Homo-oligomer: A and B are copies of this chain.
């Protein structure tokens, strides 16, 4: 009944609500990016929906399968499935106008990457996995949907070649675990990870930061 407890509770609730809203924005943005990739391969409407689905929900699915975390999230939340299917279909209608919203889209995508990473870390933490697995769970959630999208579109996954994307996920996971070890309030910690991750990602896009490339062309046979 103390004011501070009540305040903290309402803050935590709003934090939870904020994460859910960001998650829903994230899967919508990922579904739309998947649909555009399908369109680049001239897929039919069914292909668009599948690629939208795996891009948005594939990362969490692979994380849950690797961690043995059943039932898998979206199987208990049909509304997520309807949302990503709708986002995929909507994209086929509004695609021609989307390039004008490029900046918005990149922002939503960056928010999604960070939200996915934090959610993935939390799932592995609750299951009691060791630290390196927690980080990998965050990164798997953040980037493997896009990897499956690219494999199904028959191309080398863009995340293995282009500007910092996976590195943002890794940084967010490390910040999150570091702040947790310092026993920082979870809400503040989430906020710091969000702001820090977002700034890192946007700077990486703006200044074309990349990881060093490894090129190896010797033939062994």
Contacts and interface: CB of A to CB of B under 8 A. Distances in A.
A75 B40 contact: no
A46 B211 CA distance: 7
A136 B75 CA distance: 10
Given A78-B132, A99-B220, A160 B214 contact: no
Contact of A43 (B39, B68, B155, B214): B214
Given A132-B81, A147-B152, A43 B161 contact: yes
Contact of A68 (B70, B212, B213): B70
Interface string A106-144: 000000000000000000000001111100100000000
Given A68-B71, A72-B68, A132-B82, A51 B160 contact: yes
A207 interface: no
Interface in A21-57: 35-36, 38-48, 50-51
A159 interface: yes
A4 interface: no
B152 A154 contact: no
Contacts of A130: 75-76, 78
A185 B154 CA distance: 44
Given A68-B70, A75-B129, A156-B154, A211 B45 contact: yes
Given A68-B72, A75-B67, A152-B151, A44 B214 contact: yes
Nearest to A166: B46
Contacts of A216: 36, 39-40, 95
Given A38-B160, A42-B215, A153-B156, 5 more contacts: A42-B213, A66-B72, A95-B216, A96-B218, A152-B156
